[in-house]
Structure 1
Amino acid sequence: MARPPLVLGTWGKIKRAQRGGSWIAYARFRDYDGVTRQVERGGHTGAAAERALLAALRDRARLPNEDLTPETRLNRVIDDWDKHLDDRDLSDGSRVTYRRQLRHVRKAMGSLQLREVTVQAVDRFLTALQASSGPETARITRVVLSGVCQRAVRKGAMATNPVRDADTIPRKKPVVETLDVEAVGIVRSQLRAWDAGRDARGRARVTDLADPVDMIVGTGIRTGELFAVRWEDLELDLDVPLVHVTGTAVHKPKVGLVRQPYPKTEESNRSLRLPQFVVEMLLRRRVESTSEYVFDSTAGTLRSPNNFRTQWRTFRAASGYEDWVVPKTFRKAVATLVATVAGDDVAGDQLGHVKGSTVTRKNYIKRLHLGPDVREILEQFATDPALTQRIEK
């Protein structure tokens, strides 16, 4: 029976031989082209020759252009992972988030050698990070660190990915807080009065909060998508007026605020039917507008979602609302109302969530935990025993 071939990148038994006054050590090595070749090295003694051969075999076993070893610092793998991050199919927001979390990894573990990045080391790091920065930051950082370690595994510098065996970070069940129809109506009225009012110095406000909130309430659109809507994305003269969601406003590192020509997910690229109160608001704005953007900045350019949220917080503080009332709360109000009337799937489609995901149900819909209607059954407890006995007599 023929001898089975060596595994790629491995060698067979090392042998020694004496040649004249020196020694050689040699072994068969199977290269990555599938060809098995003899490799040999010399030395003054057999042991020295074997040590030289082992070093040569280890070098040869590394993939071309790779020199990561268990002694390599984690920072080097982080640099490599970061360099290839732009090649991945990720949104700009995700890249920014991942690179932000890389700073935590560099600071706490970057100087460790790869062989020192153990399950225990990962657990210690993530536990400390969760205590200092919260579970959400720790969860995202865990994903990033796992990607870094997996790259080292693929390069042959780590045998396994220690993050996979580290403790997971528990996720608390989110409590959905939102506004009902009546409360939304009150806020909308307050916003119109706020926009028409004056600030503490007596100057007319230029906040423009009411119309954008009406757009969110009438569509469930994301804040970034809202400010990316251009007049060319609207079809207001149709029997059923539409808004085509085709982009989102994002902040790019070293670039600034830009209109990204695609929204958050594939499902987010959608066309939404517009209710009449939104159509009337948009027709009014179209007459007054000189910008390509429907909800533009005071300079007529793309409006920053961050600036919008800052203006919202000023209104919220002056109006006495709790901190959980944010622009996204109106999106949750849309999800809750639509789900109550038409079902969770319809609500998810309206919001642009991935079909079949639990995001809408878990994070956007406020449930009314209404028990069964057993009033007639429980009414039996209201019977007066004394009265019953008198009737029986």
Structure 2
Amino acid sequence: MPRPPLVLGTWGKISRTKRGATWVASARFRDFDGVTRKVERQGASGRQAEDALVEHLRDRTRMHGGELTGDSRVRDLAEQWASALEQRQLAESTLEAYRRSLRVHILPALGDVRIRECTVPLVDRFLAAVRATNGDAAAKRARVVLTGAMSLAVRHGAAPTNPVRETETVRAARQDILVVDMEDVPLMRKRVAEWDRGTDKGGRGRVTDLADIVDMFLATGARTGEVLALRWTDLDLGADLPTVTIRSTVVQITGQGLRRQERPKSDSSHRTLGLPSFAVAMLLRRRTESQGEWVFPSSTGTLRAPNNMRRQWRDFREHWDYPTWITPKTFRKAVATVLDREDGIDVAAAQLGHSSNAVTKKHYAAKAKVGPDVRTILDRFAEAVESGM
């Protein structure tokens, strides 16, 4: 009975022979065209020759995607998927979000699970646990990452199908869009300005400039990271139509720290916006006082961290006992809402940098809950009764 062929991408027993002063290690390797070939590597000793051969054969299987099998662990799959992901032109913030999902949620729970053990019920239970402990957003991102990783396993022949695609879709509960009413904004702006001029708990003068940042939010509808990434070269304040160009954002990268990402969240986020007069006046004042490249720098003149700015905002909010839903993002929603009501959802989407108005409509523009004025029409019911009497 003939000996069964080697599995594709595997090799047989390694033998060592000495040729003169050189050692040679060789093995039969079944290549990915189905042909079994003898492969050799040399070394100063038998061990060195064998190590060189094994390294070569592993590189050979890795080149052809044969390194992953059903017995490979999810952490090995994740490492290959993350490495391949870095070759794609994704924003650093997106890559960092995926890496964090792997590091914080996926690998601690599934890292030692073998690919063949990743069944629909197992992944469903994992996603449900992430959702229960960390919320809808974390579960949705974990599902996206796992879908991509298991797709790689399918392409490598390590899994017959992608089980993540069969799991229940993570749908966030629909929530009302809460925005600050335009009538309440003047008082809030006044309070923020007074806060900036006040003193902290130690009696020292505050170094915050929240009022100017809030005005920039209201003037543009831009994201926090987009506003804090602005350089003076991004502004054209002397033109007949003063503008700001949103072309970058601030991101926190593990192992690298805070940096300006030279592209915003998406292609549609790269946009040039006209500036209203109140923002122009504020920016001209800051320009005369500025000694650096950043429009809204940290207290030491460096690139400002969004988390620090949000912490300052929480201190202000708690002082005035504003509800917790009022965050910097709330002003972005307020811009979307007022533009939607005045000029339509397409204008609001373009201002916010959305690729379509679907996201703007679903998450940013609050809809008035007052029904249409149809009293005249409905009065006809009574008129019909009275005319029949």
* TM range, smaller chain: 0.7 to 0.9
- Against the structure 1 CA distance between its residues 257 and 26, is the aligned structure 2 distance closer, same or farther, given a 3 Å change threshold? closer
Q: Superposed, which structure 2 residues align to 1:28-177 within 5 Å?
A: 64=64, 66-103=66-103, 104-177=105-178
Q: What whole-Å deviation, never above 9, does each CA across 1:134-163 have from its counterpart, x for those lacking one? A: 222111111111111111111111111111
Task: Give 1:131 shift.
Answer: 1.8
- Count of residues in correspondence between the two structures: 346
Residue identity opposite 1:180 in structure 2: D
Checking the alignment, whether the CA contact within 8 Å between 1:174 and 1:362 is kept in structure 2 is: no
- Against the structure 1 CA distance between its residues 65 and 368, is the aligned structure 2 distance closer, same or farther, given a 3 Å change threshold? closer
Task: Give 1:330 shift.
Answer: 0.6
Residue identity opposite 1:161 in structure 2: N
- Against the structure 1 CA distance between its residues 70 and 183, is the aligned structure 2 distance closer, same or farther, given a 3 Å change threshold? same
Task: Give 1:218 shift.
Answer: 0.9
1:303 paired residue number: 304
What SS is found at the alignment partner of 2:260?
strand
Residue identity opposite 2:69 in structure 1: T
- Against the structure 1 CA distance between its residues 315 and 365, is the aligned structure 2 distance closer, same or farther, given a 3 Å change threshold? same
1:277 paired residue number: 278
Identity of aligned residues (%): 45
Q: What whole-Å deviation, never above 9, does each CA across 1:12-32 have from its counterpart, x for those lacking one? A: xxxx3xxxxxxx347799997
Checking the alignment, whether the CA contact within 8 Å between 1:63 and 1:155 is kept in structure 2 is: no
1:358 paired residue number: 358
- Against the structure 1 CA distance between its residues 144 and 28, is the aligned structure 2 distance closer, same or farther, given a 3 Å change threshold? closer
- Against the structure 1 CA distance between its residues 193 and 145, is the aligned structure 2 distance closer, same or farther, given a 3 Å change threshold? same
Checking the alignment, whether the CA contact within 8 Å between 1:62 and 1:156 is kept in structure 2 is: no
- Against the structure 1 CA distance between its residues 29 and 269, is the aligned structure 2 distance closer, same or farther, given a 3 Å change threshold? closer
- 1: CA distance between counterparts of 2:282 and 2:36? 80
1:259 paired residue number: 260
Task: Give 1:239 shift.
Answer: 1.1
Residue identity opposite 2:247 in structure 1: T
Matched, 1:333 2:338: no
- Against the structure 1 CA distance between its residues 28 and 293, is the aligned structure 2 distance closer, same or farther, given a 3 Å change threshold? closer
What SS is found at the alignment partner of 1:205?
coil
Matched, 1:324 2:325: yes
Residue identity opposite 2:159 in structure 1: M
What SS is found at the alignment partner of 1:243?
strand
Checking the alignment, whether the CA contact within 8 Å between 1:29 and 1:38 is kept in structure 2 is: no
Q: What whole-Å deviation, never above 9, does each CA across 1:40-99 have from its counterpart, x for those lacking one? A: xxxxxxxxxxxxxxxxxxxx9998362322222222112211222322222112112111
1:44 paired residue number: none
- 2: CA distance between counterparts of 1:211 and 1:146? 42
Deviates more, 1:373-382 or 1:104-113: 373-382
Checking the alignment, whether the CA contact within 8 Å between 1:26 and 1:38 is kept in structure 2 is: no
- 1: CA distance between counterparts of 2:320 and 2:145? 40
What SS is found at the alignment partner of 1:126?
helix
- 2: CA distance between counterparts of 1:209 and 1:255? 27
5+ residue gaps, structure 2, are: 9-29, 38-59
Checking the alignment, whether the CA contact within 8 Å between 2:345 and 2:357 is kept in structure 1 is: no
- 2: CA distance between counterparts of 1:128 and 1:246? 37
5+ residue gaps, structure 1, are: 1-15, 17-23, 40-59
Task: Give 1:252 shift.
Answer: 1.8
1:245 paired residue number: 246
- Against the structure 1 CA distance between its residues 28 and 253, is the aligned structure 2 distance closer, same or farther, given a 3 Å change threshold? closer
Residue identity opposite 1:108 in structure 2: A
Bigger CA radius of gyration: 1
Task: Give 1:328 shift.
Answer: 0.8
Checking the alignment, whether the CA contact within 8 Å between 2:81 and 2:152 is kept in structure 1 is: yes
- Against the structure 1 CA distance between its residues 81 and 375, is the aligned structure 2 distance closer, same or farther, given a 3 Å change threshold? same
- 2: CA distance between counterparts of 1:164 and 1:66? 23
- Against the structure 1 CA distance between its residues 27 and 78, is the aligned structure 2 distance closer, same or farther, given a 3 Å change threshold? closer
1:230 paired residue number: 231
Residue identity opposite 1:317 in structure 2: E
Task: Give 1:373 shift.
Answer: 2.2
- Against the structure 1 CA distance between its residues 33 and 152, is the aligned structure 2 distance closer, same or farther, given a 3 Å change threshold? closer
- Against the structure 1 CA distance between its residues 326 and 33, is the aligned structure 2 distance closer, same or farther, given a 3 Å change threshold? closer
Matched, 1:208 2:213: no
Residue identity opposite 2:97 in structure 1: T
Task: Give 1:209 shift.
Answer: 0.4
What SS is found at the alignment partner of 2:99?
helix
1:183 paired residue number: 184
What SS is found at the alignment partner of 2:244?
strand
- 1: CA distance between counterparts of 2:62 and 2:92? 34
Task: Give 1:201 shift.
Answer: 2.5
- 1: CA distance between counterparts of 2:6 and 2:138? 50
Task: Give 1:129 shift.
Answer: 2.0
1:372 paired residue number: 372
- 2: CA distance between counterparts of 1:71 and 1:301? 49
What SS is found at the alignment partner of 1:272?
strand
2:289 paired residue number: 288
- 1: CA distance between counterparts of 2:36 and 2:303? 66
Checking the alignment, whether the CA contact within 8 Å between 1:28 and 1:37 is kept in structure 2 is: no
What SS is found at the alignment partner of 1:84?
helix
Q: What whole-Å deviation, never above 9, does each CA across 1:140-199 have from its counterpart, x for those lacking one? A: 111111111111111111111111111222222232100121111111111111111122
- 2: CA distance between counterparts of 1:114 and 1:272? 48
Residue identity opposite 2:110 in structure 1: M
